[in-house]
Amino acid sequence: MFDRRYLKGFLLVGLALSVCGCNSPSLVSITITPTAAYFSYAPGLSRQFTAVGTFDQGNHPKTTQDITSEVTWKSDTAGIATVSSGGLVTTTGVDYGTATISASMNGFTGLIIANATANVCAPNYVATGTGCTAPSSSSVMGRK
C-alpha cells in the first residue's frame, strides 16, 4: 500500500511537469523557403516551396521540423501562380506580377501564418535567381 507521502509526491511531480511545459510541443512560427522565387512568363513553370515549423515546449530548447505537408497553402493571386497542398508553386501563364504564397497552421497562439512570394516576370523579361532582367537589345534584334 502506498504511503500518503509518496502519493502526494507523485501528484506534485505531475503538477510540476505540467506547469513547466513538459507536455506536447507547440508551434510558435513557420518559415517558408524560398522566401521569393522568380519565374519567366509562361504556364506550367514550377518550384517547390517548403515550410519549417519552430516548436516550443516549456523550458526545453526550441526544435524545428519540416511541416510542408501539414500546413495549409494558399496563393493570393491564382491568375499568376497556384500552390498545391504539398507546396508546389506553378505559374498559370495568365498574368504576371507577384503572388503572395502563404502557409498556415494552428499553433500555440492561434493561427500561425508565414508568407513568401512567387514573382512572374513580364513577357520578354528573363527570370534570374534574384529578379527579372530586361532582354539586351542585341538579343532582341537577333545579334550575338
Q: For the chain, give every domain's residue range.
A: 24-141
pTM score, whole prediction: 0.77
Q: Got the DSSP string for 22-70?
A: -SS-EEEEEEEESSEEEE-S-TT-EEE-EEEEEEEETTEEEEEEE-TTT
Residue 100 has pLDDT above 90, yes or no: yes
60 to 10, 20, 63, 75, 135: CA distances (angstroms): 22, 9, 9, 35, 53
**How many whole angstroms separate alpha carbon 17 and alpha carbon 15?**
5
**How many whole angstroms separate alpha carbon 91 and alpha carbon 97?**
11
The average pLDDT across 52-81 equals 94
**How many whole angstroms separate alpha carbon 33 and alpha carbon 40?**
19
Most confident of 61-65, 69-73, 137-141: 69-73
CB 46 within 8 A of CB 89: yes
**How many whole angstroms separate alpha carbon 89 and alpha carbon 119?**
11
**How many whole angstroms separate alpha carbon 128 and alpha carbon 97?**
15
Residue 17 has pLDDT above 50, yes or no: no
Q: Which fold has domain 24-141?
A: Immunoglobulin-like (2.60.40)
Please tell me whether residue 11 adopts helix, strand or coil conformation.
helix
pLDDT of residue 12: 44
**How many whole angstroms separate alpha carbon 20 and alpha carbon 60?**
9
The average pLDDT across 5-16 equals 47
